[in-house]
């Protein structure tokens, strides 16, 4: 069984049961979600080009702890900023997200 799925479209597949999530809209919501088919606890992380779903109960312990810290410490905008920064560090800034210096918000 997988602990994550990653797609490049408007669909998202549950890593636990491989069914498409009903009513899915791409977002960088770091709050928990549940698969409507199997009930797996999930976190959705989307960038401008990909949507990744992580099954919390099956992912590596270090990632589970990191995601729990994000949920308890960061709001949505801070989480998006973290994801953008990590993507830039890991992949050389391949996404087209910008930060407004006046408002300090990612768009």
Joined tokens for residue 73: 């410490």
Q: Choose between 17 and 74: whose C-beta lies nearer to Zn ion.
A: 17
Q: Choose between 28 and 53: whose C-beta lies nearer to Zn ion.
A: 53
Joined tokens for residue 14: 């549950």
| Size of the chain in residues | 107
Q: Choose between 12 and 40: whose C-beta lies nearer to Zn ion.
A: 40
- In the chain, which ranges are continuous DSSP H helix? 61-73, 76-91
Q: Which residues contact 44 (CB under 8 A, 6 or more apart)?
A: 12, 24, 26, 27, 28, 29, 33, 51, 52, 53, 54
Minimum distance of Zn ion from residue 89's CB (angstroms): 31
DSSP classification of residue 49: S
Q: Choose between 29 and 36: whose C-beta lies nearer to Zn ion.
A: 36
Minimum distance of Zn ion from residue 31's CB (angstroms): 17
Which residues form the interface with Zn ion (CB under 5 A)? Answer: 14, 16-17, 35, 37-38, 40
Minimum distance of Zn ion from residue 9's CB (angstroms): 18
Minimum distance of Zn ion from residue 85's CB (angstroms): 30
């Amino acid at each position: 069984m997988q602990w994550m799925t990653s797609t490049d479209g408007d669909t998202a597949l549950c890593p636990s049961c491989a069914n498409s999530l009903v009513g899915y809209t791409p977002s960088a919501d770091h709050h928990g979600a549940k698969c409507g088919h199997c009930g797996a606890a999930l976190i959705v992380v989307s960038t401008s080009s990909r949507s990744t779903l992580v099954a919390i109960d099956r992912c590596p312990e270090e990632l589970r702890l990191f995601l729990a810290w994000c949920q308890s410490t960061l709001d949505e905008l801070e989480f998006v900023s973290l994801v953008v920064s990590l993507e830039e560090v890991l992949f050389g800034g391949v996404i087209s997200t910008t930060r407004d210096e006046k408002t300090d918000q990612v768009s």
